[in-house]
Amino acid sequence: MKIDFQTTESFVREMDNNDPLAKYRERFYIPKGKNGEDCIYLCGNSLGLQPKSVRAYVEQELKDWETLGVEGHFHAKNPWLPYHELLTEQTARLVGAKPLEVVVMNSLTVNLHLMMVSFYRPTAIRQKIIIEADAFPSDQYAVKSQIKFHGFDPQTSLIELQPHDGEATIRTEDIEALIKKEGSTVALIMLGGVNYYTSQFFDIERITRAGHVAGCVVGFDLAHAVGNIPLRLHDWNVDFAVWCSYKYLNGGPGSIAGCFVHEQYANDSSLPRFAGWWGHNKQTRFLMGPDFDAIPGAEGWQLSNPPILPMAALRASMEIFDEVGMEKLRTKSELLTGYLEFLLDQHVDEGFTIITPRDPKQRGAQLSIRVHSDGKNLFKKLAEQNIICDRREPDVIRVAPVPLYNSFMDIYRFAEIFVDCVSK
């Protein structure tokens, strides 16, 4: 959607009045700052806000636990035994998958390790992993530990994608060229769908295709992509993906994570895995037999029975996502980041640089602003003005306008305060 942005407050009010998603802001709790006023909350890339419906979802499970005890597994309003299945259809729609291909379980890095047990199968010739140089640290730790676990050295078996000198993001053609050059020695390509630091949205489809041509397994960490970008994991032929739910999905602090395994592996018994009883055949699980019989699809990678209370909180938010749909959210998201970029561009000489891709199609719901001096003090000043965003070392302030609950007035006020603080 092309709109001629303006710097006037009347334009901002018109945008909010015409925003078809504006009503959804009322379905979230907005943190209060000084004088009891709503904060300008631009930190959904770290922790999404609480839907007001969460309390009722969680209290239902607390009530059933109170009155039924262990019988809640079978007789709760939403029986706990198959509770995770209540999220399956919604999750599949959210990430562009078949229900067979997704499961809600564990935490993100646990799922990443479980996936690499199955999909990182290095040999003496093909044992390298490709990752972006500024990947989220937990991904770096995980892949390096897996390389070491298999007896290889990250110094020689880890390839880190770097941008060109003077650039902050990585060109897709450079990724493709590297895969073509190194592919015969690469076992796994493991990238973030949206980079946490720059908010670059990687071309998942092109990268996956290039990886498969070279004979590589291709997986993605979608922590900053799920609930942010429309995804078509099945159609893009991604081998596996993992994500958390406490950022854009508003599942709550440390909430349960998710996992995608492509349909082609649904019944592949040759894949090694770390097994647990919740991944065992549902019909024979409680016969307590000694031999593991994996559930077909992503559910077969489950280890333990899942936590009901975090899943209840996530259900409250997923109902909203299912109601709105990712296409509408993405349309507003591009407008929000586009308007923020427009406002900041009016002050290009004020001591900061936007390092997020300029093309809205190549970024998520975040602008990363590199501050040229004294970023810590600037961040403190913003907090004093009731702005909640975040800062990442060494010099970046990340600003994430979330389409479900951020308004155009939030963007307008942030830009006004940010520029004023920088100029001082």
The pLDDT tens digits of the residues spanning 345-357 come to: 999 777 899 999 9
What is the enclosing helix (H) or strand (E) of 376?
A: helix 375-384
Class of domain 9-30+325-423: alpha beta
Alpha-carbon span 321 to 315, nearest angstrom = 10
Q: Which two tokens stand for residue 365?
A: 């719901």
- The confidence band for 2, taking pLDDT boundaries of 50, 70 and 90, is confident
**Average of per-residue pLDDT across 19-39:** 95
Rounded average pLDDT over 331-336: 98
Average pLDDT over residues 150-158: 98
Average pLDDT over residues 319-327: 97
Position 321 scores a pLDDT of 97
Summarised one tens digit per residue, pLDDT across range 363-395 is 999 999 999 988 889 999 999 999 999 999 889
Distance from C-alpha of 67 to C-alpha of 371, rounded to nearest angstrom: 55
Cβ-Cβ contacts under 8 Å for 268 (sequence gap 6 or more): none
Indicate the fold that domain 87-321 takes in CATH.
Aspartate Aminotransferase; domain 2 (3.40.640)
Question: What are the angstrom distances between the C-alpha of 258 and each of 86, 98, 109, 243, 261?
Answer: 13, 14, 10, 5, 10
> Residue 242 contacts by C-beta under 8 Å, 6 or more apart in sequence?
108, 111, 112, 115, 219, 220, 221, 222, 223, 257, 258, 259, 260
Tens-place pLDDT, residues 218-255: 999 999 999 999 999 999 999 999 999 999 999 999 99
Residue written as token pair 């991604």? 238
Q: CATH 3.40.640.10 occupies which residues in the chain?
A: 87-321
Task: Please provide residue 243's backbone torsions phi and psi, each rounded to the nearest 5 degrees.
Answer: -160, 165
Give Cα 66 distance to the centre of its chain.
34
Tell me the C-alpha distance between 75 and 69, whole Å: 10
pTM comes to: 0.96
Q: Looking at residue 220, what is its pLDDT?
A: 98
The pLDDT score that the predictor gives to residue 1 is 63
Model pLDDT, residue 34: 83
User: Strand ranges (DSSP E) for 80-148?
Assistant: 102-104, 128-132
Q: How far apart are CA 345 and CA 356, in angstroms?
A: 13
Indicate where the chain has its CATH 3.90.1150.10 domain(s). Answer: 9-30+325-423
Which residue from 172, 218, 189, 227 is spatially nearest to 362, judged by alpha carbons?
A: 172
Q: Rounded CA gap, 238 and 259, in Å?
A: 12
Range in 27-36, 57-66, 114-123, 406-415 the model is least confident about: 27-36
State the angle between helix axes of 308-324 and 88-95 in degrees (0 to 180), rounded to the nearest 10: 50
